[in-house]
Amino acid sequence: MEFISIADGDLPPVRLSDIYDEALPEVYAYLRSRCGSIELAEELTSATFVQAALVWSKGTSPEVSIPWLITVARNKLIDHWRHLAVVDRSLGLLARDNPQSTDPWNVVLDQAHAGQILAELPSHYRAVLTLRYLDDLPVRTCAGLLDRTVHSTESLLVRARSAFRKAYELSGGNDE
């Protein structure tokens, strides 16, 4: 099935399949770099394009572009993390760290090792660390995406950084 947008004026119609071919590598790379699992990245990439096709078919979509698809992918990833957080809470697996008031840890991290450590953290920690430090979003934006207050997001960041640091150091991470 081929989706074609309704053209305005003299512009030729745009096919969703053309956008798919162009955007697939970028959407997949975005998700793969953030979720730590090939299978999950493939699943979320698929869900991203299914969502785009649904919106496209309704005729209510904004201009479907790579940045728009990356935003949809980010939202799919956040939804995934939220789901995992609910599961974690229901199983009583949430870490109970005390927030620290300062964070003087300045470390050059091995990117692959850091990615492994991040993938092993609870989903709520992965979500906030990824949004804040990989996507470089301000705390206020992270809070909105995670449906939290700014204050609770700042506290979550402190606990997440502490858990990451502890796991990194215990795994033999270099702190030079």
The ranges of the chain with pLDDT < 50 are 1-13, 90-107, 175-176
Question: Which residue type does 154 have?
Answer: E
Alpha helices in 36-149 (DSSP H): 38-58, 66-91, 111-120, 123-129, 139-145
Q: For the full predicted model, state whether its pTM sits above 0.75.
A: no
In contact, 88 and 123? CB cutoff 8 Å:
yes
For residue 171, the model assigns a pLDDT of 82
Position 109 scores a pLDDT of: 57
Which CA distances in Å does 68 have to 34, 51, 72, 175?
17, 11, 6, 38
* CA atoms of 170 and 117, how far apart (whole Å): 10
Identify the pLDDT of residue 145. Answer: 87
